[in-house]
Amino acid sequence: MARRSLTCVPDHKLLHLLADLVSQDRTTTAEMLEHIAEVDARKLYLPAGYSSMYRYCVFQLKMSEDMAYKRLRSARKAREFPAILDMIQDGRLHLAAVVCAAPHLTPANAADLLAASANKTRAQLEQLLAERFPQSDVQTQVRPIPASSSEASTVPAQPHESAGVLALATPGSKPLELAPGPVVPIDDARVATPVVPLSPRSRVAPIAPERFALQVTLTKSTHDKLRRAQELLSHALPSGEIAQVLDRALDELISKLEKRRFATTQRPGKPRRSKSARHVPAHVRRAVSERDRYQCTFVSESGRRCTERRFLEYDHVHPVARGGEATIENTRLRCRAHNQYEAERIYGAGFMREQRERARGARGRDEPVARPPA
């Protein structure tokens, strides 16, 4: 797209053009939120090969993570309180304000709170929310200060004697220790990770090629377990470096979890038969997981395969309720979202909704839960 120079545009006209563009942007933003909310409500991201609307916004619509989060959060809240769209369109409300106010909006206070939030900066709105919805005092914050290049050190972090924040030493910084008291990492953006939010006390940030800094608050119990692991590994790891302890601990944890979830093992036993047609034998789980590369196998009409590796479930290509068997050829990995989507395509959304409600009711009465058809 060819860009024309604005250097010759008179001042008054330039300001007028800018105001028009801002007005158009607000109108477009309000319309965008309506579309995002409708696509989200219809779950149209599923047939497109995405497990969530957030992923669709980031990878299909090419939004930044922050942009996708703010627009999706605002769209969902605007669907609940449509007045938000009018306020965004005429400039009385911006997306940051919607995100800030969203947790406090209820049908009872929405009209009053939205009116009070109009034309306020984020700082002003935060002050308003603090007055209307006071919270308890926050814990003391501690921010590690990066060392200068002359002070760069790669000495392993030495564990402190008290529970607190676990942090890993990184190149170009002073060794980090377990802080003597609770530490809350400062997050100026205050943007929680959508879909599966991370704890605000946990942070993993890339700081160099193949190097990451980790900061997380530990409970006393977890702190004691870390100490015990360092003691047990003292012969193999005399320094007790936390990064190496975590690496070994995660190797053990991943091995156990893969064995439990995917039947991964170096010594497979003989296949066993089960009376339940829904039971997926270990040798089938093992083969299917390796074949599908531990990733959802749903493929959209455009040929895009879902990239989800979390919340994976075994799905029968030909449903058990219609005579399907738990064979390697008839079993595949699907993320929970696409597994439910496939079931709704086969049996209908209403039927599956009824099945889920019945299952929830049975769990509340401690009765055996009848699973929906697979």
pTM comes to 0.70
Average pLDDT over residues 73-102: 96
* Domain segments of the chain as ranges: 11-132, 150-185+197-262, 282-364
Mean pLDDT, the chain, as a whole number? 82
Residue 220 has pLDDT above 50, yes or no: yes
**Quick one: which of 345, 339, 341, 242 has its CA closest to 296?**
339
Lowest mean pLDDT among 28-37, 210-219, 329-338, 357-366: 357-366
Q: How far is CA 168 from CA 95, 191, 211, in A?
A: 35, 23, 10
Q: How far is CA 4 from CA 14, 152, 353, in A?
A: 13, 48, 55
Banded pLDDT at 272 (limits 50, 70, 90): confident
Q: What is the pLDDT of residue 178?
A: 42
Give strand ranges (E) for 33-189. Answer: 165-167
Lowest mean pLDDT among 202-206, 247-251, 279-283, 308-312: 202-206
Q: Which DSSP string do the residues of 236-279 spell out, in sequence order?
A: T-TT--HHHHHHHHHHHHHHHHHHHHH---SS-------S-TT-
Banded pLDDT at 228 (limits 50, 70, 90): very high
How many other C-beta atoms lie within 10 A of the C-beta of residue 41? 12
Q: What is the pLDDT of residue 315?
A: 95
Q: What is the pLDDT of residue 350?
A: 86
Q: What is the pLDDT of residue 349?
A: 83
Length reported for the chain: 374
